[in-house]
């Protein structure tokens, strides 16, 4: 009788914590790529809105994921900064940005990463012409997403970044942090959105406004000029009112889809140690949107 033991390949149980994420495409993106790679992979949503909870529930939620044997979880609005105090360790990127979107649970430790900034960087390089000017850029929003895309903007060659947020103190903190991290550039807090967008090459929108659950225009339409590019981090819906209005004004536009996919590419690799196929993941994402 053959008593050889068969060792099953590693399986992965991943979560997503956020508010109003019932329509998130992250589970489908992660699980389909895992299926194509022959990896057992389950990705579950934990929606604060459905649970009737807010970020004060994070300690209990994270503990429950650990107890259930999760290998890690993504975090989205409004948890990207609130999660940091619950973690044991931060990657260099997460530490620099002060925001986390990817958490690994391993050997009793919670390790935070940030793949948002690299996701936006890759999306920008892929989705806008190589010759777009990035000298002067307006950043609208200074929360977790704003921290990431602000960092990406500086990496893309921005020399002057104007940060606007309705929370002026938070905008000032981000401006100061980026200024320290990128000496030789100019990073300032704008007093209002008009000041932020005056004579800029492009604008990055990084607030939840425009999401299906928070419809609307985060930027007055009259401030959009055909000479500027407009990038949105919101991807559900993929065609936000901002992107639609900017395109009608003659602006070059970048929707949030590329960032959503490329941050997932990097997160998948962090969780599994396996390099996924970015083009295949992007194609699958697009097929989900059109179905």
Would you state the pLDDT for residue 23?
A: 85
Q: How many CB atoms lie within 10 A of CB 68?
A: 10
pLDDT at 57 over 70: yes
213 classed as catalytic:
no
Binding residues for NADP(+): 92, 141-145, 233, 256
Residue 137: closest CA among 193, 72, 220, 201: 201
- Which domains are delineated in the chain? 11-114+260-290 (3.40.50.10860), 117-255 (3.40.50.720)
Contact 232, 181 (CB under 8 A): no
Given the residues 80, 95, 155, 213, the one annotated as active site: 80
Of 18-27, 55-64, 128-137, 248-257, minimum mean pLDDT range: 18-27
Binned at pLDDT 50, 70 and 90, residue 236 comes out as confident
C-alpha to C-alpha distance for 214 and 131, rounded to whole angstroms: 33
Look over the chain and give the mean of its residue pLDDT values, rounded to a whole number: 94
Would you state the pLDDT for residue 7?
A: 47
Of 1-10, 100-109, 152-161, 209-218, minimum mean pLDDT range: 1-10
C-alpha to C-alpha distance for 70 and 41, rounded to whole angstroms: 11
């Amino acid at each position: 009788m053959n008593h050889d033991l068969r060792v099953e390949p590693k399986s992965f149980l991943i979560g997503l914590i956020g508010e109003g994420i019932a329509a998130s495409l992250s589970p489908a993106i992660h699980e389909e790529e895992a299926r194509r790679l022959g990896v057992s992979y389950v990705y579950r949503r934990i929606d604060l809105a459905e649970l009737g909870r807010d970020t004060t529930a994070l300690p209990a939620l994270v503990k429950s994921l650990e107890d259930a044997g999760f290998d890690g979880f993504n975090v989205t609005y409004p948890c990207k900064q609130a999660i940091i105090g619950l973690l044991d360790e931060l990657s260099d990127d997460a530490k620099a940005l002060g925001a986390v979107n990817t958490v690994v649970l391993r050997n009793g430790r919670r390790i935070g990463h940030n793949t948002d900034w690299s996701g936006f960087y890759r999306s920008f390089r892929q989705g806008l012409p190589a010759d777009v000017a990035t000298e002067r850029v307006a950043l609208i929003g200074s929360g977790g997403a704003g921290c990431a895309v602000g960092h990406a903007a500086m990496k893309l060659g921005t020399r002057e970044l104007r940060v606007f947020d309705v929370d002026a103190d938070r905008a000032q903190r981000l401006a100061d942090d980026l200024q320290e991290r990128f000496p030789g550039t100019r990073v300032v807090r704008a007093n209002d959105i008009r000041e932020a967008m005056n004579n800029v090459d492009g604008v990055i929108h990084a607030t939840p406004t425009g999401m299906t659950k928070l419809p609307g225009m985060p930027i007055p339409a009259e401030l959009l000029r055909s000479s500027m590019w407009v990038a949105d981090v919101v991807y559900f819906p993929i065609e936000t009112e901002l992107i639609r209005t900017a395109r009608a004004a003659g602006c070059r536009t970048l929707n949030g889809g590329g960032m959503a996919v490329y941050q997932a590419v990097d997160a998948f690799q962090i969780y599994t140690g396996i390099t996924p196929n970015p083009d295949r993941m992007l194609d699958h994402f697009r097929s989900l949107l059109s179905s």
